Chain A
């Protein structure tokens, strides 16, 4: 299928200790999709995310982004491609001792000369863009606060602003709300949804909670022990499917 935003073919990852984290995974994400990946902890969601931008080198298989074979890129080509793939993390992965503004600006590093890093130089228009992106996530007043002074939800919004700085075509969100409370989870996911709808950015988002997956996902894939056990639409996941994904003993729990 040509023209897909992300295409994964027969992706397999075996770690040096023999763990088969991904086992022959294939799927397609269309442009503008909000693709949710669900599955238990350890089912391979994070590994899959990191194989797409090669933070983890896949053992075999192919990953295409806009028909570019990511797995075949040289190191310098990979850097250029990574600029267009924003990533949002469960633990936010901000530089805690740096200011919020510096954290947001660091999303732009792939576009600026490396020598600027020595003096921490960013031109004025990029700083303005960073503040604009902080305004988008509702915390422009925190620009000069140290990142570790923010609450979890605010830190994740900085993470989103950092991803926005990249002007990305694809966002990889690795359990972006797993460290947040339910109310904050919704506000964070709404920003990601807005990026998806307003900017047309394709989103791949790993989520724990099925209800969140149903609420935000346009499509869902489910991983179990490194294999895809479900591909389809949110509404298709019934009791039977649920037990297949999460195991016979699992019970669906309403929290709030």
Chain B
């Protein structure tokens, strides 16, 4: 149905580069020298992997039995308030179960105090514990409940730091129960901190990276001499910033703002600004000019052109890059904790320094799970958005 024009092409001439055998031999010799030197300078010694295996055997063994769950004795606990000075604390609301009453709720150290317990399990060993405002505890007297589940202790008020205390009676019940271990609890909260550390670092980075990315997009900036020079300055600054590892940045920020998650947030943010701005600006550079042309041709204003032709092209990839960056930052924040950047890495390095390998294993497994979960989540989001 249609006519087409054809012109006969001349046969193509493909020049074939000549490889000389002696060049190949020289290349191979050069490579051999490089790798022999490399082997020597990095002190590669494969034999050590076998002969010294016993050194890491405990580590490997503890890695497969992390400290997550612990058998703890079942307890009955009753508490009541006590003050060394001032007014008597308000009486506690009456609750079902074991109850603790003191003969006086305000007293000085050395004065006699009668502690009365009732409603406990009969004939079980127990322990009085003094807990101060900060939560630290001191062991008091031991006791045993009678066949009615009661006990009475008369003892002098101990000389303790702090003004407000809680007196706690803990009675051990027969049998044990399975609870999350202390290490597991610590790791859990540090992992939460890690995820949020990465989130804050990423968010701060986005706020700076979005405007900077427009300055680093060649198609927008290379229209005037000033724009071109801004483009090169921005790109160079980004490349330099990006080449500094967040680990090094975290060390610097830990000195600056102190050890803790804030130093980690700053280190991740600074590094992420550079990487995100580069990714964003490459995205801006690669947008299809077609829709811009089409929307302009309808008589739309500049704002409308940006809203209907530019934004739809850049926002989904921006979201995808950002989620990916968050994923990377979660992974990185597990490491920067080791140099004082907060998060779970900080805990891990403490466990390692204390040779608590089972607890360290808990942290390692926690990191593995959270990183894998973030990886999956970010992949799923990216698939939906793009």
Give A residues with C-beta under 8 Å from B.
40, 53, 55, 79-87, 89, 91-98, 102, 106-111, 114, 117-118, 120, 159, 162, 165-166, 172, 182, 185-186, 208-212, 246-247, 249-256
The answer on a CB contact under 8 Å between A55 and B312 is no
Identify the closest chain B residue to A85 (Cβ). Answer: B297
Query: Which 5 pairs between the two chains have the least Cβ-Cβ distance?
Result: A110-B299, A93-B290, A83-B299, A109-B300, A82-B299
Given A98-B312, A210-B3, A247-B5, 18 more contacts at CB 8 Å?
Answer: A55-B297, A79-B301, A82-B299, A83-B299, A87-B298, A106-B295, A106-B298, A107-B298, A109-B299, A109-B300, A114-B301, A117-B303, A117-B308, A159-B294, A165-B298, A246-B5, A250-B6, A255-B1
Is residue B181 within 8 Å, beta carbon to beta carbon, of the partner chain? no
Q: Is the CB of B2 within 8 A of A254?
A: yes
Whether A211 lies near B1 (C-beta < 8 A) is yes
Residue of chain B at shortest CB distance from A247: B7
- Which residue of chain A has its CB nearest to the CB of B301? A114
A253 with B5: in contact, given A97-B316, A117-B307 (CB under 8 Å)?
Answer: yes
Please, which residue of chain A has its CB at the minimum distance from the CB of B305?
A: A109
Contact A166 B307 (CB under 8 A): no
Can you list 18 A-B contacts with CB-CB less than 8 angstroms, sorted by A residue number?
Answer: A83-B299, A92-B290, A93-B290, A93-B293, A95-B291, A96-B313, A98-B312, A109-B298, A111-B299, A114-B301, A114-B304, A159-B294, A211-B1, A246-B5, A247-B5, A253-B3, A256-B1, A256-B2
* B296 part of interface (Cβ distance < 8 Å): yes
**How many Cβ-Cβ contacts under 8 Å join chain A to chain B?**
123
Q: How many residues of B contact A (CB 8 A)?
A: 28
Asked if B111 is at the interface of the complex by the 8 Å CB criterion, the answer is no
For A93, list chain B residues within 8 Å (CB). Answer: 288, 290-291, 293-294
- B8 at interface (Cβ–Cβ under 8 A)? yes
Q: In chain B, what residue has the closest Cβ to A166?
A: B298
- Answer whether A94 and B291 are a contact pair too, CB < 8 Å, given A81-B299, A83-B298: yes
Chain A contacts for B309, CB-based, 8 A:
95
Residues of A within 8 A of B300 (CB): 79, 106, 109-110
CB A243 to nearest CB in B, in angstroms, measures 10
Residues A95 and B313 in contact in the complex (CB < 8 Å), given A182-B2, A208-B4, A252-B3: yes
Which residue of the partner chain A has the closest CB to B299? A110
**With A and B bound together, what is the CA distance between A83 and B297 in angstroms?**
8
With contact pairs A95-B313, A253-B6 given, residues A166 and B299 touching in the complex (Cβ less than 8 Å) = yes
Minimum C-beta distance from B8 to chain A (A): 6
Interface residues of B in 309-328 (CB under 8 A from A): 309, 312-313, 316
Q: Which of A40, A83, A91 contacts B290 (CB 8 A)?
A: A91
Check if A89 sits within 8 Å of B290, measured CB to CB.
Answer: yes
In this complex, what residue of B is CB-closest to A208? B4
Known: A83-B299, A166-B299. A250 touches B5 (CB 8 A): yes
Interchain CB contact under 8 A, A97 and B295: no
B11 CB, min distance to chain A CBs, angstroms: 16
Shortest Cβ distance from B300 into A: residue: A109
- Closest Cβ of chain B to A75, distance in Å, is 10
